Structure 1
Amino acid sequence: MKMYIPPLNFGMVINSSNESKEIIYRSGFPQPLNYSYIKETLNLKTIIYFGKKKDITKEYQLFTEENGYNLIVFEMESVRDDNINKIMQDMFSLVFNKENYPILMHSNKGKHRIGVVTGLIRKIILGWSITGIYQEYSIYTGNVKGEMDLEFINNFDFSDIKIDLDLERLPSFINYV
């Protein structure tokens, strides 16, 4: 019997109700013991890492290449980064294109950076309340408060983001007028 072990802090962010496979997962940095789980159960197209390029090991790079995953790295330390709005703009551009799905988004531990990304997706796309976002953030961080992260999520103004939308490529769960 084969055992599958998901990455640290693994969870689902979006699961569309249709057969389109429009799914976004979140996690910490996948380790070799997680590779069979990822490869054999998630059917990914895109992996997005929020961290430093230098953290990408040769083994991980090889794993993503061998399995045909589009690995995208957003150099990010925290919401204090000078280019944080550009990073979020680029992230939303990927999320608003159904050709990238299924997607795994991860940071090192799957707590703060990915908590911000998940919180913004839940706020902007799914319409979650700030209370619900804060509760989920707290669960994944082990109640370690990230006041700056939570403030960033709360104050994030999507109208400041400029994205060229292709209506033909929008995921089915995106409602537009």
Structure 2
Amino acid sequence: MRLLEASPKQRGQETEQKDAVVVAGIEAVCEPSPQLMMPPLNFAMVDDGIFRSGLPAAANFRFLLSLSLRSIVYLCPEPYPEENARFLGRAGIKLHHFGIQGQKEPVVNIPEETIREALKVILDVRNHPLLIHCKRGKHRTGCVVGCLRKLQKWRLSSVFDEYHHFAAAKARKTDQRFMELFDTSSLLQAPPPPPQAAKMEAEKLKPPPSSGEAKKPGGIPRVWSTDDEVHILEALVAHRQEHGVLPQPDALMEALAGKLDNRAYGSKELQSKQATLRQRYNNAIKRGEVPTKEHDRQLYDLSNIIWGSGKTAAAKANGDEPRSFAEMCELYPYLAEEVKELEAGHPGLFKREFGKMDDDKARAMDTKIKRQRLVQMKVEMRRGDLAKEVRKTLIELLD
């Protein structure tokens, strides 16, 4: 999926605008202390240049300035708070308002087209860095981020895990059903890539990256550098080898203090990056391929020590060792539910055999079960709509 890129001229103008705003005294609106950097409620990094949170307060403005935001995607129907709007105007941050009603179960009507329009703004790199937020950063923000994860080819189990991380006890089944049924096909259309010669010429014109800074299309620096990714995994490996388990968030923060190029992160951002690295490793395992690029191979080898058995994906595919039940559940969640039901009736009989299953067959069965469940859910939704129509007709007759 190709994202729209800002032109060098546009990026230069925006940089000059940001500098002018700071010179004009933008820091005067950020209270209460020049040293205090307080992130908004439920703040986290979604991906390079994309963040999420609840509604920022005045105490969070200085932190938002550190992100060099270009845009904010606001998901509540109410007008943007006046104080926040003044801050955006002074900082040169563009507001994209997509009003979604904050309804509770069982009466929930999530506007799919509004979500789709918000995602178009989020996918446009010219709007990055960008913050997505509603009131508390749980349900409406969770649905938008969940649909974005589907575009990024995340497994549904991982999408739901992230949603639950923020929604916690307030998680809604209707939100999860919406994310599962959300159709991403219309957002996957991309313009054809430029001719190879034009791409090569553009690469020649780019200045060489500075030490510790990774390249990214469009000239926008990555939030996490390639060195950061290696340092995070090395810290996880060191802790696991010493203690036998992965570190708690606070312990990982302490181990990485002063070692990362990215300075504007907290515990949640670090956890999110850790989850992204694990997902990248799981995708490589699923494909049965060992990366060939030097950096990707380094990440793969470190991830294999942390989350794998220490053997390569090719060795597992050749049958040298079956995958663990937990790994199979991560790779094939729908098929895993069926295996769990069988295991409940016949304990100890199916778990190990599940790990020996051929990848192509397991993938095909997992897809088949998912489609079957989607059909069942759509039938249930239509049945519910029909019941509502019957009730409405009867009530009108009573009136």
Q: TM-score range by the shorter chain?
A: 0.7 to 0.9
In the alignment, the residues of structure 2 paired with residue 101 and residue 145 of structure 1 have an alpha-carbon distance, to the nearest angstrom, of: 28
Classify 1:163/1:62 alpha carbon distance in 2 versus 1 (closer, same or farther; 3 Å). farther
Q: CA deviation at 1:163?
A: 8.1
Name 1:11's counterpart in structure 2: 44
Deviates more, 1:137-146 or 1:99-108: 137-146
SS at match of 1:89: helix
How big is each residue's C-alpha offset from its partner over 1:70-119, in whole Å with a ceiling of 9 and x where there is no partner?
A: 001101015614xx222122112212321111100001000010000111
Q: Pick from 70, 76, 94: which aligns with 1:51? A: 76
In the alignment, the residues of structure 2 paired with residue 163 and residue 129 of structure 1 have an alpha-carbon distance, to the nearest angstrom, of: 17
Q: Pick from 80, 105, 121: which aligns with 2:109? A: 80
Matches within 5 A, 1:19-168: 23-39=49-65, 41-54=66-79, 56-78=80-102, 80-81=109-110, 84-124=111-151, 126-159=152-185, 161=186, 165=190
- Taking CA–CA contacts closer than 8 Å with sequence separation of 6 or more, which of the two structures ends up with the larger relative contact order? 1
SS at match of 1:92: helix
TM-score, structure 1 as length reference: 0.81
Question: Is the contact made by 2:38 and 2:60 (CA closer than 8 Å) also made in structure 1?
Answer: yes
The number of residue pairs the alignment matches comes to 158
Q: Which has the higher helix share?
A: 2
In the alignment, the residues of structure 2 paired with residue 7 and residue 166 of structure 1 have an alpha-carbon distance, to the nearest angstrom, of: 36
Question: Is the contact made by 1:50 and 1:107 (CA closer than 8 Å) also made in structure 2?
Answer: yes
Q: CA RMSD of the aligned region, Å?
A: 2.2
Q: Which has the higher strand share?
A: 1
Rg (Cα) greater in structure: 2
Question: Is the contact made by 2:150 and 2:184 (CA closer than 8 Å) also made in structure 1?
Answer: no
Question: Is the contact made by 1:27 and 1:106 (CA closer than 8 Å) also made in structure 2?
Answer: yes
Which stretches in structure 1 are left out of the alignment for 5+ residues? 16-22
In the alignment, the residues of structure 2 paired with residue 57 and residue 91 of structure 1 have an alpha-carbon distance, to the nearest angstrom, of: 20
Q: CA deviation at 1:165?
A: 4.7
How big is each residue's C-alpha offset from its partner over 1:128-164, in whole Å with a ceiling of 9 and x where there is no partner?
A: 11111111111101232210000000111112x3687
In the alignment, the residues of structure 2 paired with residue 116 and residue 51 of structure 1 have an alpha-carbon distance, to the nearest angstrom, of: 13
In the alignment, the residues of structure 2 paired with residue 80 and residue 51 of structure 1 have an alpha-carbon distance, to the nearest angstrom, of: 14
Question: Is the contact made by 1:27 and 1:109 (CA closer than 8 Å) also made in structure 2?
Answer: yes
Question: Is the contact made by 2:119 and 2:144 (CA closer than 8 Å) also made in structure 1?
Answer: no
SS at match of 2:62: helix
SS at match of 1:48: strand
